[in-house]
Amino acid sequence: LGLSGPPGAGKSTFIECFGKMLTERKHKVSVLAVDPSSSTSGGSLLGDKTRMTELSRDMNAYIRPSPTSGTLGGVTRTTNEAILLCEGGGYDVVLVETVGVGQSEFAVADMVDMFILLLPPASGDELQGIKRGIIEMADLVAINKADGDLVVPARRIQAEYVSAMKLLRRRSKVWRPKV
């Protein structure tokens, strides 16, 4: 599964919860988390692993943060090979968290079985903020943080995306993207 979304959408939190659920069901889960690299120093914080503390201690999970090192599209130059290595290493679920910073961060869509766009509610002009490119590639749009005071805004953004996705050409004859 490939996951992308804007900063603050809860990608790492979602992956930790989802990953723990999978390992409790006896799956072996690998997480390939991609972080942006500094254009000045070339370094990267690689902080995603620190936000997945429970999953990082799980013996049936493997988390590998990697810097983009200037690669565009939200992944690294070797993400596809890393996916294959994880599968060869016995991990039956591989989650790829992209940099997730914009509308063109969807190179992972061609590397995975399902591409999920994770969005927070009430973050402004949602349809303007996430443009056509990434929406066209999404197999699933998940509205995250849809609880408490955010239930109503979450329902609104869900309706907006359901309507918007009806205008897009389907990538598959057998799967209609869900929101």
CATH number for the domain spanning 52: value is 3.40.50.300
pLDDT tens figures, 8-48: 889 989 999 999 999 999 999 999 988 766 555 555 455 56
Q: Which of 128, 116, 121, 132 is nearest to 5 (CA)?
A: 116
pTM, rounded to two decimals: 0.84
Residue 61 amino acid letter: A
Tell me the residue range of the domain where 163 lies.
2-167
C-alpha span between 116 and 135 (Å, rounded): 10
Whether 58 is in a domain gets the answer yes
Whether 174 is in a domain gets the answer no
C-alpha span between 34 and 106 (Å, rounded): 12
Predicted local distance difference test score (pLDDT) of residue 129: 47
Q: Domain count of the chain?
A: 1
Whether 173 is in a domain gets the answer no
Show the low-confidence residues of the chain (pLDDT under 70). Answer: 36-49, 69-74, 100-106, 123-132
C-alpha span between 112 and 86 (Å, rounded): 13
User: Could you give the strand order of the β-sheet that contains 140-143, starting from the edge strand earlier in sequence?
Assistant: 61-67, 29-35, 93-97, 2-4, 115-119, 140-143
Whether 7 is in a domain gets the answer yes
Q: Which of 155, 19, 148 is nearest to 91 (CA)?
A: 19
Whether 148 is in a domain gets the answer yes
Whether 122 is in a domain gets the answer yes
Whether 138 is in a domain gets the answer yes
At residue 44, what are phi and psi to the nearest 5 degrees? Answer: -145, 145
Whether 94 is in a domain gets the answer yes
